[in-house]
Amino acid sequence: MTTRSRAPEATAVPATSAASAASADEGSPAPRPAALEARGLTLAYDGHEVLTGLDLAVEPGTVTTLVGANGSGKSTLLKAFGRLLSPAAGEVRLHGAPLKGQSARQVARQLAILPQKPLTPGATRVRDLVSRGRHPHQSMLRPWTAADARAVEEALEATGLSELAERDAASLSGGQLQRAWIALVLAQDAPTILLDEPTTFLDLSHQLDVLRIVRRINRRRGATVVMVLHDLTLAARFSDRLVVLADGGVVADGAPWDVLTPEVLRTAFGLEASVIADPHTGGPLVVPHEPEDETEQHPEVGNQVR
Amino acid sequence: MRGTLTPRLWATTLGAALAAGVLLVAGILAGSSDLGVGDVLHTLFVGGDRTDYFIVFELRMPRVAAAVLVGASLGMAGALTQAFSRNPLATPDILGVTSGAAAGAVATIVLGGGAYAVGAGLLGFGLPVVACAGGLLTAALVYGLSWRSGVDSYRLILIGIGVTAALTGVVNYLVVRAQLTQAAAATQWLVGSLSGVSWTSVWPVAVTLLVVAPLALGQTRALEVGQLGDDVSVGLGVSLQRHRLVVLACAVVLTSVAVSAAGPIEFVAFVAPQVARRLAGSSRPPLVASALVGAALVTAADIVGRALMPWPVPVGIVTAVVGAPYLIWLLTRRSSAERTASA
């Protein structure tokens, strides 16, 4: 957990994971460069700053999830990592090299991004949609090869879409379609993958489907994953590290149990909640309180149906 | 890229090429003059008298060649803008090309005959050159006005509509002010016509198509990926600003040169790509097939207008008569499809 989250400005909650903060001291030379690194990154829309002077390094081979309230800048940060948004100040480094100045194709071979609202084309079979992921590996001089076909079949296999490969993409259900998009990103075969709210609009079982696939990609291929999620419990369950964004910077950063504390939830989300151990997985489970409720001794009130 | 060259697309492309070829021959054989098919064949392969030779080689051939080339240019330009904007209604017209060319041409016609220095100066360049320059300048203006640390398609289309409206006002003003004969000439140009086309106006279109088409075809894969949205395109390694500039420049140059040769022939850039896309069953209009359908469409419309009508009808009127109902059909079909989708 090598964070260099010198959580900026006054609102910062003290770094929750002392161990991780210590190991990330400037002095200790990293054995390999961070998969992605933000240095003094300031991001703005039309002059309005969303994130200011952010430093963050993502260790290779981990799953990092950005969480935060609406408007906290988590998708904005992901866009900057994916060069969909150019920084107002500072820079993003990909495997040690600045993103700026690298060719679009060169970056696309190392970094895949699934944005929030991709457009599903008409009259396109699932296999053809997934094949588009091979774009950065192709050129006029290097047409479709057996390696491209293999990458596509593997991606279909990994997302459980082999049976649906001949279907029209527009005819898929929401969960199937999202898996097809994940397959496209997989076919791109980049070591680092960015996913912007990959579970939005899916029911719980399909959310789990998608996140299990993401975890498997991380474990089997050693891919680095950075994603944005809204559901804190799912984020904790499928991530090595959570980065909580609020007020233009990082307010907490570390392992799920260290980050998801009542204080952080209050600071970042304005939410009064308890964090209990999930009886099944042992992971942190966020239980929001009802506003009038003052007792934290009865976690079951959080489940009350009104 | 896999999935772009389907057997159905090959069949569509070959079919459209065949149709354009047959129509090209038919266009040389058929005509309003009393020159029969036999006479034309005789002139072509044996040799005829001076009049027959003139009609076949100096009137019909350049006219048919212009129809094929103008149609192909407009078809490909339309396929570029429609695929790029992911919108079947987005033709090069929205970039202000056509209205800019029209303003240039009408200004030349209306002011050229009078004592206005500017008109005489314009006429000195010749009508096609002024029309082409008008189209290119207007497109550059639209692109420049849309620039805000990059060009956004939506802003580009809105500014294109605004500039087009302003230039249409200028054209109307010029026509209203003009003397009757000039107004008639201007109106005829505005309708789009291939009468009076000679080899000198064919060559620029041919050269442009030869130079621009390979550039446009180089954007095929980026256009294909572009169907998934701008963010996905960037993620897949498309250099978006460069791709946008190349695609729009190709569409603008093809349209400007085609319009300068034959006037703004309505609906070709809109209809041909949609016909090609439906025949090929592809996710976006295919470039080559759209060009060939455009060539067949304009050649057929010109044959209908000059050989099958009791009096000559400009090609632009024929394409408009075919294109307008198609546009309405497409719009009603789309809106009912959207209703079913949202229901």
Does A167 map to a domain?
no
Q: B2 and A128: CB-CB below 8 Å? A: yes
Locate the chain A residue with the closest alpha carbon to B227: A121
Give φ, ψ of B167 to 5 degrees. -70, -35
Locate the chain A residue with the closest alpha carbon to B228: A119
Could you tell me the two tokens for A173?
A: 């259900």
pLDDT the model gives residue B196: 80
Question: Three-state SS across B103-127?
Answer: HHHHHHHHHHCCCCHHHHHHHHHCH
Give the number of domains in chain B. Answer: 1
Bridge partners (DSSP) of residue A68 are A245
Q: What ipTM does the predicted assembly reach?
A: 0.83
Bridge partners (DSSP) of residue A67 are A244
Could you tell me the two tokens for A95?
A: 């495997």
CA distance A146 to A131: 12
Judge contact between A197 and A228, C-beta under 8 A: yes
Does B248 map to a domain?
yes
Chain B positions in Cβ-Cβ contact with residue A135 (cut-off 8 Å): 1, 221, 225, 236-238
Chain A positions in Cβ-Cβ contact with residue B236 (cut-off 8 Å): 108, 132-133, 135-136, 188
Does A14 map to a domain?
no
CA distance B134 to B137: 5
Bridge partners (DSSP) of residue A275 are A286
Residue A204: which domain range?
36-122+190-288
CA distance A41 to B6: 45
- % of chain A surpassing 90 pLDDT: 77
- Residue A49 maps to which CATH number? 3.40.50.300
Round the CA-based radius of gyration of chain B to a whole number and report it.
Answer: 21
Chain B positions in Cβ-Cβ contact with residue A152 (cut-off 8 Å): 2
Does B273 map to a domain?
yes
Does B182 map to a domain?
yes
Does B1 map to a domain?
no
Count of residues making up chain A:
306
CA distance B101 to B247: 19
Could you tell me the two tokens for A81?
A: 């990592």
Rounded mean pLDDT of B36-54? 83
Residue B254: which domain range?
7-342
Does B65 map to a domain?
yes
A4 alpha-carbon distance from chain centroid: 18
Which of B224, B231, B237 is nearest residue A84 as measured by Cβ atoms?
B231
DSSP, collapsed to helix, strand or coil, labels residue B15 as helix
Chain B positions in Cβ-Cβ contact with residue A185 (cut-off 8 Å): 235
pLDDT band at A273 (very low <50, low <70, confident <90, very high): very high
DSSP, collapsed to helix, strand or coil, labels residue A49 as strand
pLDDT tens digits, one per residue of A19-43: 444 444 444 555 678 999 999 999 9
Residue A224 amino acid letter: T
Does B129 map to a domain?
yes
Does B2 map to a domain?
no
Asked if the model's pLDDT at residue B3 lies above 80, the reply is no
Does A248 map to a domain?
yes
Which of B221, B228, B237 is nearest residue A119 as measured by Cβ atoms?
B228
Could you tell me the two tokens for B123?
A: 């006429």
Does A197 map to a domain?
yes
pLDDT band at A279 (very low <50, low <70, confident <90, very high): very high
pLDDT tens digits, one per residue of A220-241: 999 999 999 999 999 999 999 9
Does B69 map to a domain?
yes
Residue A107 amino acid letter: V
- Residue B329 maps to which CATH number? 1.10.3470.10
Q: Any idea what the Cα angle at residue A168 is, between residues A163 and A169, rounded to 5°?
A: 90
Q: A136 and B224: CB-CB below 8 Å? A: no
Nearest Cα neighbor of A77 from A168, A241, A196, A169 is A196
CA distance A51 to A250: 9
Q: A84 and B281: CB-CB below 8 Å? A: no
Most confident of A286-300, B121-135, B243-257: B243-257
Q: B225 and A132: CB-CB below 8 Å? A: yes
Alpha carbon dihedral A156, A161, A166, A172, in 10-degree steps, equals: -130
Rounded mean pLDDT of B132-137? 91
Element of type H or E holding B300: helix B287-303
Touching check for A127 and chain B: CB below 8 Å?
yes
Q: B235 and A115: CB-CB below 8 Å? A: yes
pLDDT the model gives residue A15: 39
pLDDT band at B83 (very low <50, low <70, confident <90, very high): very high
pLDDT band at B332 (very low <50, low <70, confident <90, very high): confident
Q: A124 and B218: CB-CB below 8 Å? A: no
Does A23 map to a domain?
no
Give the number of domains in chain A. Answer: 1
Q: Give the residue from A92, A119, A135 with the most B CB atoms within 10 Å of its CB, the best one to mutate.
A: A135
| Helix (DSSP H) and strand (DSSP E) numbers for chain A | 10, 12
Q: Would you report the helix, strand and coil content of chain B in percent, each value rounded to 5?
A: 80, 0, 20
pLDDT tens digits, one per residue of B228-279: 999 999 999 999 989 999 999 999 999 999 998 999 998 899 999 999 999 9
Judge contact between A67 and A244, C-beta under 8 A: yes
A128 alpha-carbon distance from chain centroid: 26
- Cα(first)–Cα(last) distance of chain B, in Å? 35
Most confident of A1-5, A96-100, B71-75: B71-75
Match 């010749």 to its residue by tokens: B126
Chain A positions in Cβ-Cβ contact with residue B3 (cut-off 8 Å): 124-125, 127-128, 131
Chain B positions in Cβ-Cβ contact with residue A104 (cut-off 8 Å): 234, 237-240
Nearest Cα neighbor of A63 from A213, A258, A209, A186 is A213
Chain B positions in Cβ-Cβ contact with residue A83 (cut-off 8 Å): 234
